[in-house]
Amino acid sequence: MIKQIQVNTTGQGLFAFTPKVEAFVEQSQTEEGLCTLFIQHTSASLLIQENYDHSAQTDLENWMNRLVPERDPLFTHTLEGDDDMPAHIKSTLTATSLGIPILNGRLALGTWQGIYLWEHRYGSHTRNVIAHIACD
């Protein structure tokens, strides 16, 4: 079973979309299997992260922005703005796909885990994530 999930972003940051994936798993009626998520973009990424304390997300963003600063003199890909090349690097350092087991009809996420799209660009975007459920 395959579904395209859209995630709207409003600039750089982490955008939770766990409920959309949970609804897809429930609709599939899969008891045991694997849910694979794949983002169809090169300037955003996917991650599983703490969903309880927002400061963990803020710290991740601050750390990544320090690691990959804008306007690095080594960048030659600059036509699309100061945030574009750093966004490509950030998505390379993180993940473009995730695999989450399905157990007893539910995503096997830990207590404080949520699924996030990490937007690395400033502008608002509609990002497409392909969700695929495979079972025995």
pTM of the model: 0.94
pLDDT confidence of residue 108:
98
Domain of residue 113, residue span: 2-134
CB within 8 A of 33, min separation 6: which ones?
A: 101, 102, 133, 134, 135, 136
- What is the domain-level CATH number for residue 20? 2.60.120.460
Angle among Cα 13, 42, 44 to the nearest 5 degrees reads 15
Per residue of the chain (136 residues), what is the pLDDT tens digit? 999 999 999 999 999 999 999 999 999 999 999 999 999 999 999 999 999 999 999 999 999 999 999 999 999 999 899 999 999 999 999 999 999 999 999 999 999 999 999 999 999 999 999 999 998 7
DSSP 8-state symbol, 23:
H
- Closest alpha carbon to 77 in 43, 127, 33: 43
Quick check: helix, strand or coil at residue 82? coil
Give the total residue count for the chain.
136
Q: Into how many domains does the chain fold?
A: 1
Q: Which pLDDT score is estimated for 125? A: 97
**What does the pLDDT read at residue 26?**
97
Tokens of 11: 């600039």
